[in-house]
Structure 1
Amino acid sequence: MDLNTVEEVSAPTSRAELWPLGDGDAILAGGTWLFSEPQSDIRRLVDVTALGWTPVTLGDNGIEFAATCSIAEVARLSETLLDSHPDWAAAPLLRQCCTALLASQKIWSTATIGGNICLAFPAGSMISLASALDGAVTIWRADGDVDRIPIAQFVTGSAQTVLSTGDVVRSVHLSASALRARTAFRKIAPSPLGRSAAVLIARRDAEADGGRCVLSVTAATVRPYVFEFPGVPDADAIAAAHATIPDDAWTEDAHGDPDWRRGVTLVLARQVCAELSCT
């Protein structure tokens, strides 16, 4: 779509050139959502791809994804991680979460992990991934500070985050201990290729990493909910955690009513935890 209100496109090549950013400015990376509908308030696009960030950095402490890393690059790691890091058992989850995004291969190659997270839509597949693997978002604040915030605190509601005007997401980090864990994944949608109505992921850490179990709920709720247990929870413990999700936190849109999402979330939560208890 043509954005006929845009008067300027800038392409900063350093952090110092990013600012000032105002209410009429929009960060451009992949732009797959930005160009999908009218943006009448935007006067300037700031193309952060010119900053030349390395898409993926592997280290002993985990994976650092630049905000400009494409969904396709995230998915490809599922095929290569076990060669370079054979103990990162969660590698398949990267592609599984990417498939929870309703998008063509063309979109996969253009859309970015940072854009998907910053939009903060309930069905954001990269929010699901980060929620399950102790994801944290690094933010370049407009005042020069740098913050790293867990994804469950970064997304505060449907299309709502902790970002203020002028803030820029720099990267997303997944921890090595979470990547060493075994995972179980479930997605449900009104149609096989439809937008996710609920995404449930359970993770069981290696005994050397404490052996805890983490259960993440996304898409069904307007923000991520992440529950931690000392081990794989039983049905009663899952139900007790599920009951703490507020009534007004369940997503309501054309892809599912809140009551239905509440019900299927409990069913899928029990399934993913049961899967981990059997392996």
Structure 2
Amino acid sequence: MDLHTVTEVISPAEPGQWRPGDAWLGGGTALLGEPRPHITRLLDLAAAGWPPLTVRDDGVEIAATCTIAELASGLGRYGIVLQCCHAFLASFKIWNVATVGGNLCAALPAGPMISLSVALDGTCVLVGPDGGERRVPAAEFVTGEGTTVLRDGEFLRAVHLPSAALGSRTAYRRGSLHRHGRSAVLLIGRAEPAGGFSLTVTAATRRPHVLRFPEAPSAAGLDAALDTIPASQYVDDVHGRPVWRRHLTRHYATQIRTDLLAGRRPT
């Protein structure tokens, strides 16, 4: 889609250049996907040259401009990373352009990079127009359909995934109305070495929901926790009705619990 109101592209862009009417540009697959008449200038982050992946003692930092192809290549040894990359159901052309940061900032319920970042206890590094940084848990970054905690002029610089979460056992389930359709339900369970258990519910709901347990819950305990997600949180659109999404969420949650209790990684 042409953004016909854009009159200038600043490349590379830096903090301090933002002004009302600007938009930060990563891969552009989400930004150029629909009309945005309020945008008059683009600030190019991809030209900043950030390394896609930076391995640290405490985990991995994923640059917001890291493409899906780079993520799959660099962290594909972790099954959950590769599963979330394939949840895009996109061509190699999209994989080589779409970015991790763009997927989070678009804040679509079906965004698989949201699912991955939240399920692995990621932390989002945000940079303000004055260059100041703040950190927000990935679980709190998306606040609703198309909305995030980003303030005017802020951009997402990176997502940090801790080593402990990356090395945890995970179980993954994804559901759609069609074989190659958009995710209607995407759940990730994680079992920690110390005995903790978490279930991340995305795609079915307007924002991510993380259910945490000190140990693997009973079937009844899991159902009770799922009941805490308000009915109004389930998405209602052409990709699935709320009652169906809620049913599939419970069905997959039960399967994930069984997988993790059995100590095996589902294929």
TM-score, length-scaled by structure 2:
0.95
Paired letter, 1:8: E
Q: What displacement does 1:145 show?
A: 2.6
SS in 2 for 1:58: strand
RMSD: 1.3
Identity between Structure 1 and Structure 2 (%): 48
Q: Does 1:233 align with 2:225?
A: no
Q: Does 1:62 align with 2:59?
A: yes
- Return the alpha-carbon distance in structure 1 between the equivalents of residues 212 and 22 of structure 2: 39
> 2:72 pairs with 63, 67, 75, which one?
75
For 1:18, the equivalent position in structure 2 comes to 15
Question: Within the alignment, does 1:264 sit opposite 2:248 as a pair?
Answer: yes
Aligned counterparts, 1:1-279, within 5 A: 1-12=1-12, 17-79=14-76, 81=77, 91-206=78-193, 210-279=194-263
The answer on whether the counterparts of 2:175 and 2:183 sit within 8 Å (CA) in structure 1 is yes
After TM superposition, give the deviation of residue 108 of structure 1 in Å.
0.9
Residue identity matched to 1:154: F
Task: Tell me the distance in 2 between the aligned counterparts of 1:254 and 1:127.
Answer: 21
Which moves more between the two structures, 48-57 or 143-152?
143-152
Give the partner amino acid of 1:249.
Answer: Q
Which deviates more, 19-28 or 94-103? 19-28
Instruction: Measure how far apart 1:32 and its partner are.
Output: 0.9
| 1:5-36 C-alpha deviation (Å, 9 max, x unpaired) | 111000136xxx43242331111110012222
Q: Distance in 2 between matches of 1:28 and 1:144?
A: 17
Q: Is the 8 A contact 1:183 1:276 kept in 2?
A: yes
Name the amino acid aligned to 1:26.
A
* 1:187-240 superposed Cα distances (whole Å, 9 cap, x missing partner): 00011111000001101112xxx2211110000000000111112212111111
- Offset of residue 143 of structure 1: 4.0
1:78: how far off?
4.2
Query: SS state of the match for residue 226, structure 1?
Result: strand
- Contact residue 188 and residue 198 of structure 1 kept, 8 A: yes
Mapped contact 1:77–1:94 kept (Cα < 8 A): no
Matched residue type, 2:252: L
Query: In the alignment, residue 111 of structure 1 is paired with which amino acid?
Result: A
Gaps of 5+ in 1: 82-90
Give the secondary structure class of the aligned counterpart of 1:116. Answer: helix
Give how far 1:38 is off.
Answer: 2.2
Q: CA deviation at 1:77?
A: 3.0
